[in-house]
Amino acid sequence: MEYERQENSAVEPLERIKTYSEFHAPLDIAARREQAARCMDCGVPFCQYGKVICGMVSGCPLNNLCPDWNDLLYKGFWDEAASRLMMTNPFPEFTSRVCPALCEKACTCGLNGDPVTVKENEYAIIEHAYESGYMTPQIPAVRSGKRVAVIGSGPSGLSAANFLNRRGHFVTVYEKADRPGGLLMYGIPNMKLEKRFIERRVALMKEEGVEFVLNCNVGVDITADELKSTYDAVILACGARNPRDISAPGREGEGIYFAVDYLTATTKSILASAMSDGNYISAKYKDVVIIGGGDTGNDCVGTSIRHGCKSVTQLEMMPPAPLTRADNNPWPQWPKVLKTDYGQEEAIAVFGHDPRIYETTVKSFVRSEDGKLSGVETVKIKWEGRKMTFVEGSEKVIPAQLVLIAAGFLGPEKYIADSFDVETNERSNIKTDGHKTSVDKVFACGDCKRGQSLVVWGLREGRDCAEEVDEYLMGYTNML
């Protein structure tokens, strides 16, 4: 009632596209505490609810105790705020950067005004904890003697490993890439999450006793039987890395890549040589078409602009969302409103228009006589309920020498499930009862179980799975 919402300032688009660094500047301590003071300590805090309302989750899936640590931050009790924050959230340094802030969308202040800056408050608390020396290794005083293998080091794998290690179990994380982090490391661009923050957390986990085995493709370099015979429990947290493809004439040939491969190559080049090695899929001087209107598509827009693309277009099959909540989408439901993200803001600044074209899909990929990609033939879509039809005569060719497919994922790579002989469901995700698979001592969590989802859901899945594994190993659990 006394303070207006004030957000961290962002570097202007035309300036920030010159680097691959994060581009938000935090408020000073006094201003941040004022923002925390805006929290009303509601009698019914929807921000921490984390349940489905009308088909979409409202509030934090981790059930973060937002009013508690907002109040502690307001009063200047930084360490206590960090302690309360990490009671539920194992990695606030990740969610405070990449989460879409489901907590804020359900904030009571947002009913008749602007919600509390919960996400930025979380960022301030965890970064202060690192800077002040509060974040020291939490090494278990007693070890259980039980050994757990975690397959995959993305959000859910790291979360499960963190909780199980702190419970006293010996945890080994297997990662097929050259660096731990999974989706966090190679699926999210540096502009949203600089990789030094992942490395900082992994270094802390190593000090706490978690072992990481890199460049190890489970099911290829080591068998499922070897793991099951060596460990008391195995957790599959291998993500949903099977990308959805586009079936259209001209698909075969150069110039068309999956978004995850494009983003991974750029991040690897940044880490190896600050992009000087040229060992990435370059968009420089190219007309880029991105198929998919979600967060990954937006990340491809921002990355292409930093490469120096000639133009960028983002195709979206659905119509645009309204600018404000519709009458049938009241608070505290997730707001189904149009969002212009950082990549689209940058495209508007560079090219003078929003890169998104709605209700449009690909009819074919146009190639020259020598097979080189030259364009994308699009067609407008008409929706009647869930039925999609093409609008006759609406075909159009958009110039393109690079196409990036950001159309989502279809589940985990098949060989993982096959190697452990676990059942899958109709969506090709690993089938579980809770987090238990059809095979004894094998559990699953994260995207490989629930399908492609948010980082915050990965952390919740890892936390819940760790609790089930702990009970399986010990006969009871007092983990949470």
pLDDT tens digits, 28-43: 999 999 999 999 888 8
pLDDT at 214: 98
Residue 195 lies in a domain: yes
Q: What's the CA gap between 83 and 69, in Å, rounded?
A: 9
Q: Are residues 320 and 377 in the same domain?
A: yes
pLDDT at 43: 87
Q: What does pLDDT average to over the chain?
A: 96
Q: What's the CA gap between 143 and 165, in Å, rounded?
A: 9
> Two tokens at 189?
């661009």
Q: What angle do CA 419, 420, 423 make, to 5 degrees?
A: 110
pLDDT at 117: 98
Domain end marker among 405, 437, 453:
405
Q: What's the CA gap between 466 and 150, in Å, rounded?
A: 10
pLDDT surpasses 90 at 446: yes
Q: Are residues 306 and 414 in the same domain?
A: no
Q: What's the CA gap between 23 and 320, in Å, rounded?
A: 27
Q: Kindly list the distances between the CA atom of residue 276 and the CA atoms of 9, 50, 341, in Å, as whole numbers in the listed order.
A: 30, 44, 28
Q: Are residues 401 and 447 in the same domain?
A: no
List pLDDT tens digits, range 215-263: 999 999 999 999 999 999 999 999 998 899 999 999 999 999 999 999 9
Alpha-carbon torsion (160, 166, 167, 171), positive or negative: positive
Q: What's the CA gap between 357 and 406, in Å, rounded?
A: 14
> Two tokens at 429?
């995700």
pLDDT at 192: 97
Q: What's the CA gap between 374 and 366, in Å, rounded?
A: 6
List pLDDT tens digits, range 408-432: 998 899 999 999 999 999 989 999 9
Distance between start and end Cα atoms, the chain: 35
pLDDT at 479: 83
Closest of 185, 188, 189, 208 to residue 198, by C-alpha:
185
Which single residue is written with the structure tokens 């070897």? 226
Number of domains in the chain: 3
Which strands, in side-by-side order, build the sheet including 402-405?
Answer: 256-258, 402-405, 287-291, 311-315, 356-357
- Residue 440 sits in a domain whose CATH number is 3.50.50.60
Q: What's the CA gap between 291 and 315, in Å, rounded?
A: 5
Q: What's the CA gap between 36 and 73, in Å, rounded?
A: 6
The proportion of the chain whose per-residue pLDDT surpasses 90, expressed as a percent, equals 94
pLDDT surpasses 80 at 480: no
Q: Are residues 415 and 375 in the same domain?
A: no
| Range of the structural domain that residue 434 is part of | 147-241+410-474
Strand partners, 378: 362, 396
Residue 1 lies in a domain: no
pLDDT at 385: 85
Q: Are residues 400 and 260 in the same domain?
A: yes
pLDDT band at 476 (very low <50, low <70, confident <90, very high): very high
In contact, 71 and 465? CB cutoff 8 Å: no
Q: Are residues 308 and 438 in the same domain?
A: no
Q: Are residues 324 and 374 in the same domain?
A: yes
Q: What's the CA gap between 375 and 396, in Å, rounded?
A: 10
pLDDT at 272: 97
pLDDT band at 119 (very low <50, low <70, confident <90, very high): very high
Contacts of 247 (CB under 8 A, 6+ apart): none
Domain end marker among 358, 376, 405:
405
Residue 246 lies in a domain: no
Q: Are residues 127 and 28 in the same domain?
A: yes
List pLDDT tens digits, range 335-393: 999 999 999 999 999 999 999 999 999 999 999 999 999 999 999 999 998 899 999 99
Q: Are residues 69 and 187 in the same domain?
A: no
Residue 366: other Cβ atoms inside 10 A: 17
In contact, 201 and 214? CB cutoff 8 Å: no
Residue 199: other Cβ atoms inside 10 A: 15
Q: Are residues 272 and 376 in the same domain?
A: yes
Q: Are residues 263 and 398 in the same domain?
A: yes
Q: Are residues 121 and 190 in the same domain?
A: no
List pLDDT tens digits, range 73-86: 999 999 999 999 99
Give me the mean pLDDT over the 303-312 stretch.
98
